[in-house]
Amino acid sequence: MSLGVHFVGNQSPYSVVRDHGQSDEARTLYRLFQSVRGAWEQTATGNGAQAVNAAITRVHSRCSQVDWDGEGAAAVSDNAILDAFVVSRMLPTLFPQPEVDADPDGCVSFTWYQKRGFSFTLCAYGDGKVVYAGLFGQQSKVHGTEPLGDVLPESTIACLRRLYGK
C-alpha cells in the first residue's frame, strides 16, 4: 500500500495535527502522517524547521529568568515556549525561515526581514494567541492578535505574502 500526501494551501508538512479520531482508520492515518512528517524532517526544508526549533530551545535556556538581558526583561514563560513550538510547526515552507529571539516583554518572536522598512513579526506570549506586526514601507503598517489553532492564521500568511510578493 502507498499513501500520497498533498499539503493544501499554506499548510506545512510540519503543521500541528491533532489525533482526534477514535476509529482504527483514524489512528492508522495519524501514524502515517507522523511517518511522513518524520521523513520530511530529513529534507533540506525540514532541516530549516529543525533550526527554528533549535533557536526556540536556545531562547528558553537564555531567557527563562527575569532580567535575562540585564535591563529588567520579563522571563520567557514555559507556556510562551510551548506556543512558540506550536507556531514553528505551522510556518509555511513558501517563505524563508524567520529569525527567532525573545523580546524584553517575555514573548518569543519570529521575525522576517525583507529590506529596510519591510519586516513582519509574530510573537508568542503563551496565552494561546499570536500577536503580529508588519511594516511594508513608510506608509503601511499592520498589527493584530489571532488565536492559535491548527494552522497559522490567514491574516499572518497574507502579511508574509505581502512582504515577499508571493
Instruction: Classify residue 44 by burial, with Cβ atoms within 10 Å: 0-12, 13-18, 19+.
Output: exposed
Mean pLDDT by 10-residue block, N- to C-terminus, for the chain (166 residues)? 42 49 76 65 58 94 96 96 92 90 97 95 96 94 93 93 90
User: Checking phi first, is residue 165 left (phi over 0); if not, alpha (psi -120 to 50) or beta?
Assistant: left
Q: Read off the pLDDT of residues 76-90 as tens digits, 9 standing for 90 and up.
A: 999 999 999 999 988
Domain ranges in the chain are 24-164
Q: What is the pLDDT of residue 37?
A: 58
Q: What is the pLDDT of residue 63?
A: 96
Q: Cα–Cα distance between 104 and 24 in angstroms, integer?
A: 47
pTM of the entire predicted model: 0.74
Q: What is the pLDDT of residue 23?
A: 82
Q: What is the pLDDT of residue 149?
A: 87
